[in-house]
Amino acid sequence: MSLQLGDTAPDFEQDSSEGRIKFHEYLGNSWGILFSHPADYTPVCTTELGVVARLMPEWKKRNVKPVGLSVDTGENHTGWAKDIKETQGQTVDFPILADHDHKVSKLYEMIHPNASTTATVRSVFIIDPAKKIRLILTYPMATGRNFDEILRVIDSLQLTDSDKVATPANWKDGDDVIIVPSVSDDEAKAKYPAGFKTLKPYLRMVKQPKLPHAS
């Protein structure tokens, strides 16, 4: 059965570039991003891991732990990390699972036979501190991911978890947000004394509350 939003992220134990990982234990009270790569020593993956490493201050600010996955061995990961450092100028300072036995790939349905019978597609799972799956994305092998978008989604998830708002299309930090329909006008007036804009009774815009990680 396919994993769905709100499901508990399957736990596992697997080797990685940073030793044996017990997934739920490793995440602890943090958010997590589990993302897969078709293979080591591949060009698109090399650029992606460089970007994730460069964004490490942003992950830490949001209490997020990234975890990569490739179906190669830990020994390959070590050699590949040197290439990433050389070509992308970044040290890979997060674990990459060595899923050579496909245990995690199968658990998270990362192998799509119509694309490849052995390599993983570019899957992304965002997992909250309660170990619930909050986002699932699947990219084809030839298309590199936009990790700025993944950061944006995490901002939205953390904001909407902390406040009774939703984020509109193309929202980014600092843009107006939507007051959810379950909040009455009277409640909204009390909560937002500076006011809000009613476009339709079901569409009320208000200045964005501060993100939970903002200082």
In terms of Cβ atoms closer than 10 Å to its own Cβ (0-12, 13-18, 19+), residue 202 is exposed
Prediction pTM value: 0.92
Q: Given this model, what pLDDT does residue 1 score? A: 57
Query: CA-based angle 29:30:35, to the nearest 5?
Result: 135
H-run or E-run covering 188: helix 185-191
Query: In the predicted model, is pLDDT for residue 76 greater than 90?
Result: no
Could you give the CA distance from residue 29 to residue 31 in angstroms, rounded to a whole number? 7
Active site residue 211: no
- For residues 167-176, average pLDDT: 97
Q: If you count DSSP H runs as helices and E runs as strands, how many of each does the chain have, helices first?
A: 7, 11
**13-144: CATH superfamily:** Glutaredoxin (3.40.30.10)
List pLDDT tens digits, range 140-159. Answer: 888 999 999 999 999 999 99
- The catalytic residue among 9, 27, 33, 45 is 45
Query: In the predicted model, is pLDDT for residue 16 greater than 80?
Result: yes
Query: In the predicted model, is pLDDT for residue 68 greater than 90?
Result: yes
- For residues 109-138, average pLDDT: 87
Query: In the predicted model, is pLDDT for residue 74 greater than 80?
Result: no
Domain ranges of the chain: 13-144, 163-206
Same fold, 13-144 and 163-206: no
Whether CATH 3.30.1020.10 fits 163-206: yes
H-run or E-run covering 179: strand 177-179
What value does the mean pLDDT of the chain take?
91
